[in-house]
Structure 1
Amino acid sequence: MKHYNLTINGETKDHHDYFDVINPATAEPFARSAKADAADVNRAVAAASNAFASWSTTPMAERSNLLHQVAALVEQHMPELMELIVQETGKPLNGLNGVGAGMEVGGAAAWIHVNADVTLPVEVIQDNDDARVEVHRKALGVVASITPWNWPLLIAAWHLTPALLAGNTVVIKPSPFTPITTARFVELANTVLPPGVLNLISGGPELGATLVEHPDVAKIVFTGSTTTGKHIMRSAATDLKRLTLELGGNDAGIVLDDVDPKAVAARLVSACFHNNGQTCAALKRLYVPSGIYHQLAQEMADLAAKLIVGNGLAQGVDLGPVQNERQLQIVMDLAESARQDGGHFLCGGERIDSKGYFYRPTIVTGLSNGHRLVDEEPFGPIVPIIEYQDLEQAIAMANDNPCGLGASVWSTDTARALAVATRLHSGSVWINEHGAVQPDAPFGGVKQSGFGVEFGHHGLAEFSAIQTVKIMK
C-alpha cells in the first residue's frame, strides 16, 4: 500500500506516523497518509513565514508564470490524478453529464490557468495639482487553506491560486477522508515553486484547529460545513485573522408554471445528482407549481431510477458511492425521517447491497418546509420536490432557510425568471441551470453559507490588504 507524505519547505519525506485512507467503493484502505502533529504545523508555518519575504516581492508576472507551470503539471499527470480522485472520493472517471474525476482534474488545471492571469492594478483615486492618491494591494502573509472531501483537488486549486498569485505563502490541510490527491498535487507543485511557498500537512480535525489558532497565520480560507466554519471564526477572532468561508448550501430551485416537464426533467436531475449530490451548490430542494408537480416529479424519478451507480473506475457509471460512512448515515437518517413524515418515495430510498457506501438516487414528494429532508442539507443522492400553490409562496419557502449559497429559477420566460431570481437570498442564482460556477465569476454565500468570494478579480482581492498611498505635490 502506497504512503503519501507531508510537504514542508519543499521537502517530501517519510513520516513517523500514518493513517489509512478508505476507498468508499470498497470500504477498505487503498493508501496511507502521513499524520501530522503540532510540531509539523509549526514547521510548515515557519517555512511559509520564511518564504513570504522573497515570494511577496517576486514580480506578479513571475508568480503568474510559475502558476501556469503548476497547471501544466496537473495536465501532464492527469491520468494518475484522476485515478487517485476516484479511489478517495468515489466519483466516477466521467460521471453523470461528464461531472467526474476528469472534470475535477481538468477543471483544476483550467482554474489555475485562468486565475493566474488575473491582476491587481493600482487604483488611482485622485490625481490633481494638490495630490495623487493611489490604492495598492498588498499580500497578507501565511494563508491556511482547509479543503473538503467532495472536490479535494479542484477546491485546492480554488484556494491556492489567488493566495499564491497575490504574494502569500500557503499551508494547506486537506480533509482526512481525501488527503491523497492533494498530497500528490503539492508534491508536483513543489518541483516548480520555491521551497516554503506551498506546504502540506494532513491529519484530523485537531490538526486543523492547531493550524487555525497558529499566531503566524494571517488568513484562513475554508470550504466545508457551517458548523466547522463557526468554530474557525471563533478561533480566528483571537488575533483577528482574515477569513473566506464557503460553507453549507441547501440550495433551492423554483420551477415556474410555463415549464414543459419533459423538456426540463433531465437538466434538473443532473443539477440534483451530479457528484452524487455531494456538491455545496447542487440543487437540494425543488419547488414546483401544482399544475405540473406530479408530472415533473415522475419524469425526474423515471430518469433518476435509470442512473447507473457503481465503482467509479468502471466504464459507464453515472454515480459512485457516498464518500464516507458518516455521510451515508446522514442520508439514511434523513430518508427515514421523510418516511415517518409521510413522504412518498418515487424512486430509491435504500442503501445498495454492496460493500461500499452506495445509496440509490432518491426522489421524495409530499413534504414541505418544516420537514427535516427539506430544511437540512443531505449532501447525498436524495432530493425532496415540494409543491407550491402560488409564486409568492414559492419565493418565501425558498428563502426560508439559514443557508444562502446558490439558487435557481426555471422558466421559458427569461425576464420573468430574472424578476424572481433577484428576490432570492443567495450568493449566486442561475436561470435554467444550477451550480455552474466559472473561474472568472465571483462565487460565495450569504447568511450561514459564509462570506467572502472566490474566483476572478473579486476572489483575488480577498487575499490582499488595501494600502492607501497619498503623495503630496
Structure 2
Amino acid sequence: MQLQHFVNGKMLGGENLFEIVNPSTAETITHAPLASPDVVDAAVRAARGASATWGDQTPGYRAAALLELAQAVENDLGHLLDLEVANAGLPITPYADDLAWGVDVIRYTAGAARVVEAPAAGEYISGCTSMVRREPLGVVCCIAPWNDPLLLALTKLAPALATGNTVVLKPAPNTPMTAVRLAELAADILPPGVLNVVLGGQPTGEALLEHPGIDAVAFTGSVDTGKRIAEMAARTLKKTVLELGGKSPVVVFADSNMERIAETISGLGFYSAGQNCIAATRVLVEESARDELVQHLTKRAQALIVGDARSPETTLGPLISARQRENVEGFLNRREPHVEIVTGGGRPAGLTGFFLEPTIVTGLREGDEMAREEIFGPVQTVETFRDEDEVVRRANANRFGLGASVWTHDGARGLRVARGIKAGSVWVNTHAAVATELPFGGFKASGYGREFGASLDEFTGTKHVGISLEE
C-alpha cells in the first residue's frame, strides 16, 4: 500500500511515485507520491486557514491536544519502531530509547509553552505602561532529515505547534513512513490544517520555501542544503532555524582511562552507522596515549555485530543508501598516503543491504580531508596532539561547531579546553549528553537557532505593547 500526503485533516493520494527502500535489504518497501505544486499549495493554505484559530487557543488547550498526541505516539511506539527500523536502517535494540525520546519532546514542549517568559510589565517609558507579548509566527515549514526521521521531526513541529503555529512537515524523501504514521495518529486529535505532511524531495522543498504562505522554516540536514534553504528563505525574509552538519572533536588527554573512553565513544561513534551529526568519530588523543586508545577502539569496532537492523543482536546497521555508502567509501579511497586503515573499510560479505564494516583510521594530519569534512559513516579517525594549545586550535580547525567532548582527570584543564572549543555543546568526560530541557544547536557552518530546551523562543515573535497612562 503506497503512502499518501496528509492535508487539512485527510489523506491525499498523488502521482509521480518514487520507491521507498529498506537499507538493510535494498528491497523496495512501498512507494510515495511526489507532492505537486498544487498539493504544496493546498497544504500551506490549509495551515494558513487553521492558523488564526489554533493560535488564539489558550496554551492549556494546545498543551492538552499535544499531550493526547504524545500518548497516542507512546501507545504506537512498537509500530513506529518497526517502521523506522525498516525505513531508516536504525538497529532496533539501541534505537528504541531514542524513538521514545520523541514522546518526551512532545510532553516537555506542551508544558513549557504554558509558561513562556517575557519581561515584566512596567513603566519603562514615562507615562506609559509597557508589556511584551510572545506570539506565534504563523505557518512553519518543518523539514526533517533521514538519519533520525521521527525524533528530528518532533523537535521542530512540537514546539511550533505548542506555541500556536501551524505546520507543514516535509520528511526526507527516502524516510517518510513515520511522518505519515504520525499524521494518522494526529488526525483525530489536532484540528484539520494544524498539521500537514507533504512527501517529496528537492522540488517539494523548494515549492514550500517559495510559497508566500510560509512564515518560518526549521531544517536539519547537510550544510550545502542548509545554505540553499537560507538563500531561498532570505528572498521573502522567512525566519530560519538550521541544524546542520558536525565534526565533533573528541579530545583525549593521557591522564584519562582509555578503556572506559573507548567503550563510550565507540558506541557513540558507530551508533546509527556514524550517520549522526554529533557522532564521536573524530578522535584527537595525546601522543603518549595513542597506541593504547587505538588498541581499545579497534577491539570495540571489531566486536560490533553488523547486520539487518531488525535483528535484536545487531549493533551496526546499514547506511541509508547505496549513494551514501559510496560517499563514505570515497573518503577512504581518497585518503592521503600517510593515513592507515587499521580495521574495516570494506563491505561485509553475505549482506545485501548498504553495509560497510566499522572502520578505524589512524595517522591523520591537520588539513587532511577526513579531519576536515563530515564523513557521516561508520569511520572513526584518530589524530594525535602534543599540548593543550595545539589541540584547541586543531579542534577548531574546520568549518563545523556542533558538538565536542574533552576527556581528562584535570578539572581545570577540562573547563579551559571546553571554553576554547567553538561548539554549541561541549561535554567533559562524556559525549552526546543531550536532554530535552537543554538547548541544542551549533556555531559556524553547523547552523544557527536552537532546538530542544530553547526551541520555544525560535517559533515565537516578541511584540511590545505600550499603553498611555494619560486620560
Q: Which category describes the TM-score, using the shorter chain as reference length?
A: over 0.9
TM-score, normalisation: structure 2: 0.96
Who is 1:49 aligned against? 48
Who is 2:367 aligned against? 370
Q: Does 1:258 align with 2:292?
A: no
Q: Deviations over 1:320-376 (max 9, x none)?
A: 1001111111110111122x4322222111112321000111111111221111111
Q: What code does the residue aligned with 1:87 have? A: A
Who is 2:461 aligned against? 465
Q: Secondary structure at the match of 1:217?
A: coil
The whole-number CA distance in structure 1 between the counterparts of 2:12 and 2:455 is: 33
TM-score, normalisation: structure 1: 0.96
What are the within-5 Å matches in structure 2 for residues 121-136 of structure 1?
121-124=117-120, 126-127=122-123, 130-136=127-133
Shift of 1:270: 1.5
The whole-number CA distance in structure 1 between the counterparts of 2:128 and 2:337 is: 68
Contact 2:34 2:204 in 1 (8 A): no
Q: Does 1:168 align with 2:165?
A: yes
Q: What code does the residue aligned with 1:342 have? A: H
Q: Secondary structure at the match of 2:169?
A: strand
Q: Does 1:447 align with 2:444?
A: yes
The whole-number CA distance in structure 1 between the counterparts of 2:68 and 2:33 is: 26
Q: Deviations over 1:237-290 (max 9, x none)?
A: 111000000001111111122112123210121221111111111122110001
What are the within-5 Å matches in structure 2 for residues 339-354 of structure 1?
340-353=336-349, 354=351
Contact 2:251 2:407 in 1 (8 A): yes
Q: What code does the residue aligned with 2:376 have? A: F
Shift of 1:125: 5.4
What is the RMSD computed on CA atoms of the aligned residues?
Answer: 1.3
Contact 1:123 1:136 in 2 (8 A): no
What are the within-5 Å matches in structure 2 for residues 261-276 of structure 1?
261-276=258-273
The whole-number CA distance in structure 2 between the counterparts of 1:316 and 1:191 is: 37
The whole-number CA distance in structure 1 between the counterparts of 2:394 and 2:80 is: 41
Contact 1:115 1:440 in 2 (8 A): no
Give aligned-pair identity as a percent: 38
Q: Secondary structure at the match of 1:64?
A: helix
Q: Secondary structure at the match of 2:462?
A: strand
Contact 2:143 2:171 in 1 (8 A): yes
Q: Does 1:229 align with 2:226?
A: yes
Counterpart among 102, 106, 116 of residue 112 in structure 1: 106
The whole-number CA distance in structure 2 between the counterparts of 1:412 and 1:33 is: 52
Unmatched runs of 5 consecutive residues or more in structure 2: none
Q: Does 1:428 align with 2:428?
A: no
Who is 1:93 aligned against? 92
Who is 1:61 aligned against? 60
Who is 1:182 aligned against? 179
The whole-number CA distance in structure 1 between the counterparts of 2:186 and 2:278 is: 28
Contact 1:139 1:166 in 2 (8 A): yes
Q: Does 1:309 align with 2:306?
A: yes
Contact 2:406 2:414 in 1 (8 A): yes
Shift of 1:122: 4.1
The whole-number CA distance in structure 2 between the counterparts of 1:82 and 1:427 is: 29
Unmatched runs of 5 consecutive residues or more in structure 1: none
Who is 2:14 aligned against? 15
The whole-number CA distance in structure 1 between the counterparts of 2:447 and 2:156 is: 15
The whole-number CA distance in structure 2 between the counterparts of 1:220 and 1:63 is: 21
The whole-number CA distance in structure 1 between the counterparts of 2:106 and 2:273 is: 25
Shift of 1:418: 1.3
The number of equivalent residue pairs is: 465
Q: Does 1:159 align with 2:153?
A: no
The whole-number CA distance in structure 1 between the counterparts of 2:40 and 2:195 is: 13
Contact 2:282 2:381 in 1 (8 A): yes
Counterpart among 86, 97, 103 of residue 103 in structure 1: 97
Which moved further from structure 2: 345-354 or 52-61? 345-354
Shift of 1:156: 0.7
The whole-number CA distance in structure 1 between the counterparts of 2:47 and 2:256 is: 53
Q: Secondary structure at the match of 2:451?
A: coil
The whole-number CA distance in structure 2 between the counterparts of 1:344 and 1:111 is: 42
The whole-number CA distance in structure 2 between the counterparts of 1:16 and 1:231 is: 26
Who is 2:408 aligned against? 411
Shift of 1:419: 1.5
Which moved further from structure 2: 123-132 or 73-82? 123-132
Q: What code does the residue aligned with 1:7 have? A: F
The whole-number CA distance in structure 2 between the counterparts of 1:412 and 1:190 is: 52
The whole-number CA distance in structure 2 between the counterparts of 1:186 and 1:386 is: 45
Counterpart among 394, 398, 411 of residue 397 in structure 1: 394
